[in-house]
A and B are shown apart, each in its own frame.
Chain A
Amino acid sequence: MTEHRDGVDAAAADPERGPRHWSAARLPRGLHPGAWWLWALGLATAASHTTNPLLLALLVAVAALTVLRRRTDAPWALAFRMYLVLGAVIIAMRVVFRIVFGGGQGEHLLVSLPEIPLPEWAAGIRLFGPVAVEQVLGGFYDGLRLATMLVCLGAANALANPKRLLKAVPGALYAVGTAVVVALSVAPQLVESVLRVRRARRLRGATGRGMRALRGIALPVLADALDRSLALAAAMDSRGYGRTAAVPAGQRAATGALVLGGLVGVCAGTYGLLDSTGSGYLGLPMLLAGLVVAVTGMLLAGRRVRRSRYRPDRWRSAELLVAGCGIAAAALTLLAGSVAPELLYPPVSPLTWPEVTPLMLLAVAAAAGPAWLAPPPPGSPSTRAPTAGTPVNAVAAPTRTGDPATSVPGGHP
């Protein structure tokens, strides 16, 4: 807890105004979606640099805790469970694959399955056969790492409204963002109209399947979708969508080149950062250079779009804290890797018990910070009437809604 207090005091420059500043910043509000994504990407980066099951499990627990404490009751926020299930499926798949295909390298035989003989041309592939602990454990570690990264991204998805994220895109990508938003809202309409037409077809006695039924459903649905999209386009046009300022052709070309080049740089940089075997220049420097170029291009392109934003998400101190926590978690894990790499990748043969160093715990603690540091989401039960008048108390005594086991690492680093 002390660590969080420090962060808070640093944020409130004037100790006299501290509590008031604190309470204003702590009012329930939706955090900038970019902050949650940066935090989640930090966690995912940390997870990608280790196969230590203890550290990975702690990261999953931290992500789950933060989601539980800071999500709203919107539909996308409830999808987090799906990511957990998907993660479990990934782990199971990895283990099963190791058992089915993997060689039985390892001394500790778990069970010996009958091997299925394969023809000559399939040499090198083995089906079943002896199953060793090392082999199963290797699959489990691998799967756990992948699952953890997935869960981290799932957490970002649950915490940040995907549509608000689209609203935060720079002006240059505004049209793309709008297209995605419209597409997202069209999907449920399409489902609705398929259900309606299918139901209506029964009235004509048509229950058949196959091409004829497909035609009977598809034509009215498509005609309906076309009508709707025309109506939407007309509505958007008459409400001012697409008002642009004139820009010379040369500047347009330069803008395009900058954005594309920058994005390529960002991709290469990300690859270098995630792939620990790559050469150094491909990593952070490339990522930063790409970002700068791309942002310049987008700023230029954004000049062409004349529009403003209603109640934009602002980047305030809480956003900085949350994003910083994610980055700190990633940096601390990397640091732990440079100090004791063998502890981040515990070997499976010989079998060793995975260990957790203080540095790793510190990384987990940093990752858990937003569960308390981020302002509570609007409209959540814990922020309603009773605490609204006394936000400081609500902060000082966080309600213990989280899993007690998972709150330990964050609470006592």
Chain B
Amino acid sequence: MITFDRVTVRYSDDGPPPLREVSLRVEEGELCLVAGRTGAGKSTLLRAINGLVPHFTGGTLYGSVTVDGRDTRRHPPRDLADVVGVVGQDPLSGFVTDTVEEELAYGMEQLALPAAVMRKRVEETLDLLGIAELRHRPLRTLSGGQQQRVAIGAVLTSHPRVLVLDEPTSALDPTAAEDVLAAVTRLVHDLGVTVVLAEHRLERVVQYADRLLYLPGDGRVVDGEPAAVLAGVDLAPPLVELGRLAGWTPLPLSVRDARRRAGALRQRLAATAPPDPPPAPGTAPVLAARKIVVRYPGTVAVAGLDLDLHRGRVVALMGRNGSGKSSLLWAVQGSGPRHRGTVTVDAGIGRDPVDPKQLSAGQARRHVGLVPQTPGDLLYLETVDAECRQADRETGAAAGACRSLLDRLAPGLPGDRHPRDLSEGQRLALVLAVQLTAAPPVVLLDEPTRGLDYLAKRQFVALIRGLAAAGRAVVVATHDVELVAILADRVVVMADGDIVADGTTAEVMLASPAFAPQVAKVLAPAPWLTVEQVTAALGPAREPA
């Protein structure tokens, strides 16, 4: 179906090519997963399939890409629209019309299909993706998962034989991601559509994949069975790591596989127990929020909840999209609206307890620092160094304070780089350094791990643990169950503006299957959460053997 023949892509003459001498074939009806670190060339590979590389992005493509017998050299993306459907990372930015039904019809209108055919296909697609009740809704009012399904539907109506999805679930909560992936697998199984899909969180998708294309980052593409490829790869979902630890071959890709093989491991672990969670803090909370209410026209985002944060603790804030996580963080920081309730920050030595809302913005950030969902919003200068100097100036810190923080968070970041050219992880580190320059005792992060690969996530975990060890209280709002399992001391789950669960990570995550990490699902009923814990428990047992 898709053939890459010795494909090399270059964007500039001096830089390394994102793809080098790549030859591969994707057969009809395959679900092909593309994995690799950020910046390894996943997007380039995906966009080469329908000719956006190089027709739209510029650069030079050597070799040839053929889709369904059509060479992308002679066919620009618009002429491949009836064969390849592409769905981008942010569905909203790709919508052309403004209601669901019109969006589904848009592609067919461009292909000049007869009206009767369009009418029929729109109805079929609405049913296929389970979005029939949304047909008249404006696209902007849909939730993230709904938007993503509409975006997939909008390309499906042209009956493409290949569907290309670039990180379709990266912005979605676990349930919405399940919906989208269920829709995709249904397409593969029922309609025989060939799907090429890029994803950072392999644990969500790898079990459905027939093939895995792994991009190590040097321009090569490693191609093969998912289990075989993952065996030799440094980034892997927890399940695979557990499989390596236990020495299972082939590596398990689904919880079901792993659980069937885990009997022996469960017995070996029966004697030990995971380490106890850190004891409840005896000291007074550094931040105490009481009866917080945030309202928007028509909805109550935060419905009068209490939250205590303690020094040295990492709290994970979870809940589906729109459950009020962001509103709570902004209200606590003082920059967002807060219609009722009090927040008291007691920084301790030498500082009086204050409410950040009463302070000027410059003072408030010295008490509570917040990294927003799109960290790039805070950056507006040309270079990393200029941003660091500006951060020193606006907080009155000693010159070089921000830069030295940054060097600890992300060593070796070139100072003359433009902030927009940084990778997601580097940009996050820069913004975090800027915010930490004001030395706030409380740090809040809103969805920081969007777009981070496994390695970047591992660095992020180390970084946050370092902040907590230095005595800061940290809150991380996230959808990422695996991240929470290795990072948080305490988990707070929000729904509909209320706290529905609040307890230690083990208590909350083991209580419901939706929040349980993969390791917990495999080793249940024993309360293991992470591969780290299992490694530590097995470590001494192995040595004597």
Query: Which A residues are closer than 8 A to B by beta carbons?
Result: 163, 178, 181-182, 185, 188, 196-197, 199-207, 215-217, 219-220, 223, 227-228, 231-243, 306-312, 379
Tell me whether chain B's interface is mostly helix, strand or loop, or mixed.
helix
Query: Which B residues are closer than 8 A to A by beta carbons?
Result: 47, 50, 52, 55-56, 76-82, 84-86, 88, 90, 93-98, 101-102, 105-115, 118-119, 122, 136, 140, 154-155, 158, 330, 333, 335-336, 360-365, 369-372, 374, 376-380, 391, 394-395, 420, 434-435, 438
A239 touches B370 (CB 8 A): no
B365 cross-chain contacts in A, Cβ below 8 A: 203-205
B380 touches A239 (CB 8 A): no
In the complex, A235→B89 CA distance in Å? 11
B360 touches A207 (CB 8 A): yes
B333 touches A243 (CB 8 A): no
A181 touches B97 (CB 8 A): yes
B330 cross-chain contacts in A, Cβ below 8 A: 199
A223 cross-chain contacts in B, Cβ below 8 A: 376, 420
In the complex, A204→B380 CA distance in Å? 12
A163 cross-chain contacts in B, Cβ below 8 A: 98
B111 cross-chain contacts in A, Cβ below 8 A: 240, 243, 307
Could you show 22 A-B contacts with beta carbons less than 8 Å apart?
Answer: A178-B96, A200-B372, A200-B374, A203-B372, A204-B434, A205-B363, A206-B361, A206-B362, A207-B362, A216-B380, A219-B380, A223-B420, A231-B94, A232-B93, A233-B56, A234-B47, A238-B84, A239-B96, A241-B78, A243-B110, A308-B113, A310-B122
In the complex, A239→B361 CA distance in Å? 45
In the complex, A227→B89 CA distance in Å? 12
- With A185-B95, A238-B86, A240-B158 given, name 5 new contacts (CB 8 A): A205-B362, A206-B361, A206-B362, A223-B420, A308-B115
B93 touches A231 (CB 8 A): yes
A238 cross-chain contacts in B, Cβ below 8 A: 50, 52, 77-78, 80-81, 84-86
**Which of B76, B77, B395 is within 8 Å of A205, CB to CB?**
B395
B331 vs chain A, min Cβ distance (A): 12
B155 cross-chain contacts in A, Cβ below 8 A: 239
A179 vs chain B, min Cβ distance (A): 11
**Which of A200, A235, A310 is within 8 Å of B86, CB to CB?**
A235
Known A-B contacts A234-B88, A235-B88; A310 and B94 likewise in contact (beta carbons under 8 Å): no
B394 touches A204 (CB 8 A): yes
CB nearest neighbor in A for B420? A223
Known A-B contacts A234-B88, A243-B79; A204 and B378 likewise in contact (beta carbons under 8 Å): yes
B362 cross-chain contacts in A, Cβ below 8 A: 205-207
In the complex, A199→B78 CA distance in Å? 39
**Which of B47, B101, B380 is within 8 Å of A215, CB to CB?**
B380
CB nearest neighbor in B for A241? B110
In the complex, A237→B81 CA distance in Å? 8
Q: Which of B77, B90, B107 is the most central at the interface, judged by chain A CB atoms within 10 Å of its CB?
A: B77
B380 cross-chain contacts in A, Cβ below 8 A: 215-217, 219-220
In the complex, A241→B360 CA distance in Å? 50
CB nearest neighbor in A for B369? A203
CB nearest neighbor in B for A204? B378
A200 cross-chain contacts in B, Cβ below 8 A: 372, 374, 377-378
A-B CB proximity, top 7 nearest: A240-B81, A235-B94, A310-B105, A205-B362, A240-B110, A200-B377, A231-B93
B96 vs chain A, min Cβ distance (A): 6
B108 cross-chain contacts in A, Cβ below 8 A: 308, 310
In the complex, A236→B93 CA distance in Å? 11
CB nearest neighbor in A for B164? A238
**Which of B50, B52, B115, B333 is within 8 Å of A203, CB to CB?**
B333
**Which of A204, A227, A232, A307 is within 8 Å of B109, CB to CB?**
A307
Q: Which of B96, B370, B371 is the most central at the interface, judged by chain A CB atoms within 10 Å of its CB?
A: B96
Known A-B contacts A200-B377, A205-B395; A309 and B109 likewise in contact (beta carbons under 8 Å): yes
Q: Which of A199, A235, A307 is the most central at the interface, judged by chain B CB atoms within 10 Å of its CB?
A: A235
A219 vs chain B, min Cβ distance (A): 4
B95 cross-chain contacts in A, Cβ below 8 A: 185, 235
B409 vs chain A, min Cβ distance (A): 17
CB nearest neighbor in B for A205? B362
B335 touches A202 (CB 8 A): yes
